[in-house]
Chain A
């Protein structure tokens, strides 16, 4: 059973002779409960691939399916709902709203959906990530590693179909980075989450179950451990 399916994705930026083919017919299936890393050099199309998979950007042609929902052709409103309810995000930097406390940031997706927070899951996630004593702080009062853990807690606390992580360790020192990668792997193996991570760091990719390598908008390597 696959969490995310991409079929023949093409993404072209610009028109005419200046057009850039960022994705050139990419197809891939991401299974539930697996940790997949997408690698590639700068300009390989790996970030564009993730943006399209997550419904953040539109595709020129091809389809993306999350669970049983096809994203292509959805209205902005529907797409927003999908992101809120079925996708979790961890970005490289600027993951948290500066005006909200850590707790408010974590419960934000539930707030936006008008749902009650799953308190048991929240407590469990906080406990696993070890941020229980930082919940009243604002992002500016947290270290980079703590900020990423709060972002991860936010992503996990909605039980999303899939978590997309975009260079989650890019801004961290190696110890914090290792910690965050450990948490991501644990969330897959202990909580049964599905994680898709974009990275250019081979060390980070080493934590994944499967590694896709992109070059010039195509998948050139697909390794499963």
Chain B
């Protein structure tokens, strides 16, 4: 009997493969995403292993020390004279400061032979250093330091006792890049300049036909004679693999994070599948009722429907996996079009089978609740007319009680989260709050639809009858609306939470940057001498704007406690300075006899707004605190004073801040350096630090939004399939509406609006859940980030979600509009 029941259900599925695809579309997308992630990991790992080249391909043996002293010249000589060795290159990086000893930019000097198989660089212009006190710089360093071939640089060794050395730049090269500016020279010249004769690592090129194992043995024997030496000798190949593995490891963490987002997407897919099957079974209600009437048992129906779910899951899962595999194979060709080299992912059969089976299980699980509901159909339903089927009542009492219970549990755990602030359990409680809160949302969803609709739907009501029909259409079927909207809400909850978290991070970064990097460029003079000429020259140069002189000095509190810096600068002169925020008092109230304190200085001095503090240095200044900043003062100073008060403090040294108005940063920097500053002046590119911080925040934002976008995409698929299936189900209803005078265009508009409303309701629910969750997280994890409500971004999320769901509903809407009015009259 079960087999017969199964056959009746499955034959329907097989007769309409398109509908099968529609039912399982969310599972297909989820399988694609999961397997796509597996393949992406394979591609990234392989590409890294294939192309990672910190050790040149030609290197056959590497000798290196792990901690302890570098390989000294005798050890290097021992390596050089080992049988079979053709060439050796010491590897070392020495850091120098360009300009003054206590100031200026860092320059990393790396050892490289310059030519031959052991070299990692290529010469662009000039010649590679061949004599002492010669270096080659990379193009970035040349731009930043304003040097050309034949120019000179004054280098200070990191150890301050060493005298500065003047070197000649003989060439410009291209080489592996880093955040620091780089220069290159042969190993002996680097050693001579740095005064450190040893190398922590030596790369060895074997002669033709050399016996590598024998060579390694020979070297080990010579180098390991001293048992306290921390020297290792290995092949170039194993070194390359080790370096690549270390590089791949950083992706492991990244992919662990990705896996978490993918898991959320899978949950979303299961929810979408559940809601889709609910609709599909509702359409078959009369057929199922007929089966019950002629004697099919309830559990037979459940089994048949669950098997159908599993079949749909297996088929769509397979399609998803195959599509992902095809995309994986296409990746190298696609990357090649953009000039990038990417390795093919291979065919991970085990993972593919696991994903397909997982899709089957997931779908069978997702289908259970609707299957039980559908199997509970009364046999009498077979005899009733269709019009009574579409009606929906509210939610059952057990569901309501369960939902309220979950709300209570959520509240309880949230309370625990706040109580365990900062502890390691806080994160666990936080996850619990989210999970139970979402569970409550699933159960109570139908009750929440109408109140939210009353708010979210009012603009649509103004769209005339189509809008009003859409709003009533959703209000009349709250359970279906809730089932779809909750999936959208899952995605939006995560998105809204992330957006709030990142906005807080951004605000914090902005505040920090306003104090740390108030300008693009800064110049700090060594002595007391004025920079008036420099200021005048910079102001006359159209490449700069907001040229602002300042002076700074050190002070300590009266009782000889902490030392802080004090600065005198016009707080209204630069855009970034104007963004400084006070947690108490008014920054603009600064004047003679007044002081603005940083948060730390205020707490060290134990002073509040309105109190008088004594700042002590060469002289003593008493000033009234008019404002306390949220963080540091400009350039991380502890106090902002007027110039006269700073003079009274004594020992002030001048400086200049400037923003770049036009032209590139490297060019502006060279001009800034060349503005005639006295000797010993330090120049800092504050804009670099700011860009780095901004870049980190915005790439974090882009990555999180991109990954969470997957969940929203699956939710949109859910809205699309729900709308599509409900169009099939509501043919009579649409036919009737057309018979009564609803035009095609308006019918399309109405269905599109219904789909958009699913998205909008989900977005509202998601924001209502996600924003408090994010605040709770910020508070309980003690990240010391300010709480924000990025209303603009949240509104954008709601708008984009609604738009995506409208688009998802458009295709079914077009089909529905083709319904002939006669369909309303067709006997069913």
Contact = CB atoms under 8 A, between A and B. Distances in A.
B743 A98 contact: no
Contacts of B821: 56, 83
Contacts of B690: none
Contacts of B737: 97
Interface stretch (B172-180, B317-325, B384-392): B384-392
Given A94-B736, A111-B468, A171 B385 contact: yes
A109 B740 contact: yes
Interface stretch (A30-38, A62-70, A74-82, A173-181): A74-82
A139 interface: yes
A204 B825 CA distance: 19
A104 interface: yes
Contacts of A113: 741
A83 B385 contact: no
Nearest to A167: B825
Interface string A120-152: 000000000000000000111100000100000
A96 interface: yes
B464 interface: yes
Interface string B564-582: 0000000000000000000
A161 interface: no
B234 interface: no
Given A51-B825, A139-B391, A166-B825, A104 B741 contact: no
Given A56-B822, A57-B822, A111-B468, A93 B736 contact: no
Nearest to B475: A99
B820 to A, nearest CB: 8
A47 B743 contact: no
A50 to B, nearest CB: 9
A89 B739 contact: yes
Contact of B741 (A57, A85, A95): A85
B524 to A, nearest CB: 72
29 contacts: A51-B822, A56-B739, A77-B743, A77-B744, A80-B738, A83-B740, A83-B821, A84-B741, A93-B385, A94-B386, A94-B732, A94-B733, A95-B736, A97-B736, A98-B387, A98-B391, A98-B476, A99-B477, A100-B476, A104-B472, A109-B740, A109-B741, A112-B741, A113-B741, A114-B464, A138-B476, A139-B391, A140-B390, A141-B391
B825 A112 contact: no
Nearest to B390: A98
B824 interface: yes
A147 B390 CA distance: 15
Interface string A52-65: 00101100000000
A212 interface: no
The 5 closest A-B pairs by CB, nearest first: A84-B741, A99-B476, A140-B391, A98-B390, A94-B387
A91 interface: yes
Interface in B722-745: 732-733, 736-744
A147 B391 CA distance: 14
B610 interface: no
Interface of A: 47, 51, 54, 56-57, 76-77, 80-81, 83-85, 89, 91-100, 104, 108-109, 111-114, 138-141, 147, 154, 166, 171
Nearest to B474: A99
A95 to B, nearest CB: 7
A94 B824 contact: yes
A21 B468 CA distance: 42
Contacts of A111: 465, 468
Contacts of B786: none
B473 interface: yes
A100 B476 CA distance: 7
B476 A112 contact: no
Contacts of A114: 464-465
A112 B742 contact: yes
A70 B736 CA distance: 23
Contacts of B822: 51, 56-57
Contacts of B391: 98, 138-141
A83 B821 CA distance: 11
Contact of A80 (B388, B468, B732, B743): B743
Nearest to A140: B391
Contacts of B388: 140
Interface string B741-762: 1111010000000000000000
A97 B465 CA distance: 14
Interface centre among B387, B474, B820 (most CB of A within 10 A): B387
A225 B744 CA distance: 42
Given A84-B741, A89-B740, A114-B464, A96 B387 contact: yes
A104 B822 CA distance: 22
A112 B821 CA distance: 16
A100 B821 CA distance: 19
A114 B738 CA distance: 16
Given A56-B825, A94-B386, A140-B388, A99 B740 contact: no
Nearest to A113: B741
Given A93-B385, A97-B736, A98-B733, 10 more contacts: A54-B739, A80-B742, A84-B740, A84-B742, A99-B472, A99-B473, A104-B472, A109-B740, A112-B465, A171-B385
Given A83-B741, A166-B825, A91 B472 contact: no
Contacts of B743: 76-77, 80-81
